[in-house]
Amino acid sequence: MDKKEYGELVKQTSPKTKEGKTLFLAFAIGGLICMIGQAFADLLTAVIPSFDEKQIGALTGVVMIFLGSLLTGLGVYDKIGYYAGAGSVLPITGFANSIVSPAIEYNKEGIVFGLMAKMFSIAGPVIVSGVSASVAIGAVYYIIGLFR
Amino acid sequence: MEIFLTYLKVFAVGGAVCAIGQLLINKTKMTSARVLVTFLLAGALLEAVGLFRYIEDFGKAGITIPITGFGKTLAAGAIEGAKQGLYQACTGGLAAVAAGFTAAIAFGFVIALISKSKPKST
């Protein structure tokens, strides 16, 4: 059996993920989490009218991150993630989950090299790419500004 | 009635973002870290070229609650800083997401510290 045949065999025998179902669940649960975020944004706007749009946005993110961390700590978020897939990964709650989940798992390897280091096994790439991109965008805008 | 429509738009846009992410996972076997990075950069890029605002006006939290919103805030901070100088252009991005990153790290640390590891059932 050569490599090609083996690939075909794997394709046939591996369980087919029901594509439509995963897409529907990601859509429904992802949309629902965003609606919860919108509800908190509306609530915060009503409670703290002195905050501007940016601050409300940041605070909404903080609330959602807290909820994502808490639900991960309680073991609930990973259960939601089993069904929701990207619907639970992409919202900011999923970013919190990606920090807390490995942190809990590696806690037994010690606080410093287990918990603190492994916190960033998924969040690390996100932070590195995000911050680098922001510096690049800032530099480009600065240079464009010089010629205006 | 208007508030109902707003939330319907939030649901539709947020759902669509996540469904695109799920499609990427299904088709390319991307890991969740890769999907997060891809959408973060997509958000930053959309903000950099000035398109994010149109999606946000329509979908509100539907586009800002997914990680695309993080990317947008990073880019917007850098663009805002670039108006003042090169120093602010470099620091503006991280400064703009300071609240979110601090919350993620501080809450994450405390909650991981007090939570017990559970055997994975999935």
Q: What's the pLDDT tens digit per position in A45-80? A: 999 999 999 999 999 999 999 999 999 999 999 999
Mean of the per-residue pLDDT values of chain A: 92
* Closest Cα in chain B to A86: B22
Nearest to A130 among B48, B71, B111 (CB): B71
Assigned domain for A2 exists: no
Say if A65 is an interface residue toward chain B (CB within 8 Å): yes
CB A93 within 8 A of CB A65: yes
Q: Is the model's pLDDT at A2 over the cut of 70?
A: yes
Residue with tokens 């917007």: B76
Nearest to A131 among B94, B109, B115 (CB): B94
Which helix (DSSP H) or strand (DSSP E) does residue A146 occupy? helix A120-146
Least confident of A18-27, A36-45, B6-15: A18-27
Chain A, residues 20-59, CB within 8 A of chain B, namely 22-23, 25-35, 37-39, 41, 54, 57-59
Assigned domain for B33 exists: yes
Nearest to B112 among A104, A127, A141 (CB): A104
Q: If DSSP codes are grouped into helix, strand and coil, which group holds residue A91?
A: strand
What residues in B contact A90, CB-CB < 8 Å?
17-18, 21, 35-36, 39, 66-68
Instruction: Tally the domains of chain B.
Output: 1
pLDDT tens, N- to C-terminus, chain B (122 residues)? 789 999 999 999 999 999 999 999 999 988 889 999 999 999 999 999 999 999 999 999 999 999 999 999 999 999 999 999 999 999 999 999 999 999 999 999 999 999 877 655 44
CB B17 within 8 A of CB B39: yes
Assigned domain for B121 exists: no
Contact B21 A86 (CB under 8 A): yes
Chain A, residues 87-106, CB within 8 A of chain B, namely 87, 89-92, 94-96, 98-100, 103-105
Terminal CA-CA length for chain A: 65
Given phi > 0 = left and psi -120 to 50 = alpha, else beta, which region is B6?
A: alpha
Instruction: Tally the domains of chain A.
Output: 1
Q: Which two tokens stand for residue A136?
A: 């690049």
Higher pLDDT, A136 or A18: A136
Assigned domain for A40 exists: yes
pLDDT band at A12 (very low <50, low <70, confident <90, very high): low
What pLDDT does B118 receive?
61
When scoring A19, A29, A34 by the number of chain B Cβ atoms within 10 A, the one with the most, hence best to mutate, is A34
The answer, yes or no, to whether ipTM is higher than 0.95 is: no
Contact B108 A96 (CB under 8 A): yes
How many Å is the Cα radius of gyration of chain A? 21
Domain that holds residue A48: 19-105
When scoring B3, B18, B36 by the number of chain A Cβ atoms within 10 A, the one with the most, hence best to mutate, is B18
What pLDDT does B1 receive?
78
Residue with tokens 């975020």: A37
Assigned domain for B19 exists: yes
Contacts of B81 (CB under 8 A, 6+ apart): A138, B87, B88, B89, B90, B91, B92, B93, B95
Q: How many residues does chain A have?
A: 148
The CA distance from B52 to the nearest CA of chain A, in Å, is 14
Assigned domain for B98 exists: yes
Contact B64 A94 (CB under 8 A): no
Give the integer Cα–Cα distance in Å for A36 and A42.
10
Report CA-CA distances (Å) from B55 to A35, A51, B66: 16, 23, 13
What pLDDT does B114 receive?
92
* Closest Cα in chain A to B86: A142
Domain that holds residue B13: 2-114
Query: How big is the CA angle at B81 (ends B80 and B86), to the nearest 5 degrees?
Result: 145
Assigned domain for A70 exists: yes
Give the pTM. 0.89
Assigned domain for A10 exists: no
Assigned domain for B47 exists: yes
Give the integer Cα–Cα distance in Å for A97 and A71.
8
Which helix (DSSP H) or strand (DSSP E) does residue A41 occupy? helix A19-47
What pLDDT does A15 receive?
59
